[in-house]
Amino acid sequence: MRNIENEETRKKYIPSIDYLVYKMLGVLVITLFIFILNLLYPVPEYGYCFTLLIALIFCGFWIILPLIADKALTVIGLFIYTFYILSQRVYFNGFGAYFDLKYASSMTSEVAGVGSSVLELIKLSDYLMLGGFILTAVIICLMPVRKGKALSYRLVFKMVFCLIGAGLGFWTYNSFITKLNATVSSSFSYNETDLYIYDIIPSTEAYVAKFGINAFLFSDIYNNFLSPQLDNYDDKKAAIDEYLTANNTAIDTNDHTGIFEGKNLIIIQGESLMTMGIDETLTPTLYHLMSSGIYFENFSAPLLAGSTSDTEIMVQNSIYPMANGYATMHTYANNTFPISLAQIFKNLSYHTTIFHNNYGVYYNRSVFYGNDAYDKFYDTTELGLENLCSDAKLMDYASWIVAEQESFYAYFITYSGHQPYSLTNAADSAVSESAMKEYKEYITIINQVYPGLDEFMQVYLAKCMSLDRGISSLITALESYGKLEDTVIVILGDHVVKGYDDEENSESLEILNQEDPVVPLIIWNVNYGAETVEKYCNSLDVLPTLMNMFSIDYDKQYVFGSDIFDDNYIGYYFTVNGTVESTDFKYDYLTGLTVSNDFSEAEAYSWIDKFNRLKEISQYIIETDYFGQD
């Protein structure tokens, strides 16, 4: 009896909240947290209307759900939402774009394999927001409530709140649409308007800057899971047919035609290679090749959704990868592509090989390269090497496999330059033990030559030194077999360094005497002199440029790049967010078009439209597997 009285006394003095106050306090806490969380992103041009809609949805569920379930399900929902918001931030820090939900779900195993690389992209503010979620969850879970209200009272309250919330949501969205539609009448061209960006999402960066990350979430859910998936293959096929027919034009010659005819070809795709990693003292081989070869100073390799693998496709197949957030190689590994460097050289009786110092399952490479074009795809397992070994070790082993062939085409996908650029973060599966030891030895040298560099730059340069030593081993092997004079070596970066920041690394750049580092493209042969090419160019242009220099015929209609030395090609590069830039114009979806050098806007838009069309047709070809159909 005494225990019962004590329990009743204890309950009597536990503070509790009236049901209505409890629910409204929850609404306040949830709304406040969601808006604070969205402060991680710049204020959208169209305001926080979609953030309000997200808050209304969460608050609606909070109000409707019964007691106990409201706490549990709301906390779970907020955790998922917080994880999404923070993941998009981290992804943007690395790629300069935002990911598609389907893409994220298909790449979870690859992300798990490079955990430290992801951690390096997380900022202090992200950790603070994670702490904010924990605090919010604790507040929600600890809020006490009295259960004395009648069921009818609670139902009326829920109905009133939901009606008010629905009305506010409708008014908010309708106001947004009215403002958005007004942009059409104020601009001559639909694809220059905000409505075009909202409908098409040509640039995820521009989309989020204008409408916010929550608008992108709504759009992503609708496009991938709710909208009807129309079977319009016939329309896409007709568009492809029309484009390919128009693209089937004659191949022009120029003063670089045939200069490497009959030679062997080696392409080295340097992971995250930029000019700040090319130094006369630390990376003398790279420096020599850039100084004595053909150097394209305005080349750019865009960092697309598929990262390194997308560059492989652009360089080897001269087709624009999927622009909807998918990693093309991973998702469409079994597709048939109409043209590839490997197939072209194999048809000429060259031995074709490709090498990578990672497992072949990553990005589905073992499937993608398991076709007739390559005689062999060597990953670390095939080579008998430690996975994620250094570039120096990979190329020291693989160079002799290449050099002993009579005629050869070889492609190296290097790995050392990959993040993390911190030795403390690198002690996981992202770096092998032997590679770690090698990088530490290089850092000792770096500190002697350039004292005062930040850790990021030290580790990055150490990884570039490994690539440099690997290229040196390759040249040694070619010399030993008497193949150096008959071999052309192409070196290009796959994309910019993820996590690199001009301001954060400014002191190190000053020490290195580096300014505005870019992704390099170098074409080198021991008997060909130095040349600097100023024309803007991109990864799609590599295949047709090499075909011209090797004087090899190919089907031009299947190629989406251009010969850089073609006088009729203006030359341009592009980014994942739709920026197109040449010496005469620059266009992006946030700032619009600017022209220079007496170049007309009509001419600029002609090139921009041409680029957007090739992106569209490339996507049609890939998603329909146009060349794989019977």
Q: What is the tens place of the pLDDT at every residue in 148-203?
A: 656 677 788 888 988 999 999 999 999 998 888 877 654 446 667 788 888 878 78
Domain final position from 203, 226, 249: 226
Residue type, position 264, single letter: N
Whether 508 maps to a domain, the answer reads: yes
Residues 6+ apart with CB under 8 A from 71: 140, 141, 143
Total structural domains within the chain: 2
Domain final position from 199, 226, 253: 226
Q: Are 220 and 295 contained in the same domain?
A: no
Q: Which residue has the higher pLDDT, 214 or 118?
A: 214
Whether 113 maps to a domain, the answer reads: yes
- In this predicted structure, the answer to whether residue 629 has a pLDDT above a threshold of 90 is no
Q: Are 23 and 111 contained in the same domain?
A: yes
Q: Are 221 and 248 contained in the same domain?
A: no
Q: Are 258 and 202 contained in the same domain?
A: no
Residues 6+ apart with CB under 8 A from 477: 399, 400, 402, 403
- In this predicted structure, the answer to whether residue 358 has a pLDDT above a threshold of 50 is yes
**Which residue segment(s) compose the domain that 132 sits in?**
2-226
Residues paired with 60 in a beta bridge: none
Kind plus residue range of the DSSP H or E element containing 353: strand 351-356
Whether 505 maps to a domain, the answer reads: yes
> Cβ-count burial of 586 within 10 angstroms (0-12 exposed, 13-18 middle, 19+ buried)?
middle
The model's pTM is 0.83
Q: Are 160 and 309 contained in the same domain?
A: no
CA 510-539-527 angle, 5° bins: 80
Helix ranges, 100-150 (H): 101-106, 108-112, 115-119, 124-142
- Helix, strand, coil share (%) of the chain residues, nearest 5: 55, 10, 35
1 pLDDT tier (thresholds 50, 70, 90): very low
Q: What is the tens place of the pLDDT at every residue in 224-243?
A: 777 655 567 888 999 999 99
Q: What is the tens place of the pLDDT at every residue in 481-518?
A: 999 999 999 999 999 998 888 788 889 989 998 888 99
CA 195-198-199 angle, 5° bins: 85
State residue 469's pLDDT score.
98
Q: Are 188 and 334 contained in the same domain?
A: no
What Å distances lie between residue 596 and 192, 300, 534, 564, CA to CA?
19, 20, 16, 21
State residue 108's pLDDT score.
56
Q: What is the largest CA-CA distance in the chain?
A: 104
State residue 561's pLDDT score.
96
Q: Are 247 and 99 contained in the same domain?
A: no
Domain final position from 226, 256, 275: 226
State residue 326's pLDDT score.
72
Q: Are 531 and 438 contained in the same domain?
A: yes
Q: What is the tens place of the pLDDT at every residue in 98-126?
A: 888 876 665 555 555 555 566 777 888 89
Whether 52 maps to a domain, the answer reads: yes
State residue 104's pLDDT score.
66
Whether 234 maps to a domain, the answer reads: no
Are 580 and 608 contacting, i.e. CB atoms less than 8 angstroms apart? yes
Q: Are 202 and 293 contained in the same domain?
A: no
CA 599-601-605 angle, 5° bins: 115
Q: Are 612 and 537 contained in the same domain?
A: yes
Phi/psi at 319 (nearest 5 deg)? Answer: -135, 145
Q: What is the tens place of the pLDDT at every residue in 366-407?
A: 999 988 789 999 999 999 999 889 999 999 999 999 999 999
Q: Are 286 and 434 contained in the same domain?
A: yes
402-432 b/e with 16+ CB inside 10 Å = b?
Answer: bbebebbbbbbbbbbbbbbbbbebbeeebbb
State residue 10's pLDDT score.
47
CATH number at residue 612: 3.40.720.10
State residue 298's pLDDT score.
96
What Å distances lie between residue 186 and 183, 194, 557, 587, 605, CA to CA?
5, 11, 38, 19, 18
Whether 236 maps to a domain, the answer reads: no
- In this predicted structure, the answer to whether residue 55 has a pLDDT above a threshold of 70 is yes
Q: Which residue has the higher pLDDT, 61 or 362?
A: 61
Q: What is the tens place of the pLDDT at every residue in 402-451?
A: 999 999 999 999 999 998 888 776 555 567 889 999 999 999 999 999 99
Q: What is the tens place of the pLDDT at every residue in 558-586?
A: 999 999 999 999 999 998 888 899 999 99
Whether 467 maps to a domain, the answer reads: yes
Q: What is the tens place of the pLDDT at every residue in 300-352?
A: 998 888 889 999 999 999 999 987 667 889 889 999 999 999 999 999 999 99
State residue 227's pLDDT score.
65
Are 392 and 473 contacting, i.e. CB atoms less than 8 angstroms apart? yes
Whether 235 maps to a domain, the answer reads: no
Retrieve residue 142's tokens.
């600890």
3-class secondary-structure state, position 14: coil
Q: Are 483 and 387 contained in the same domain?
A: yes
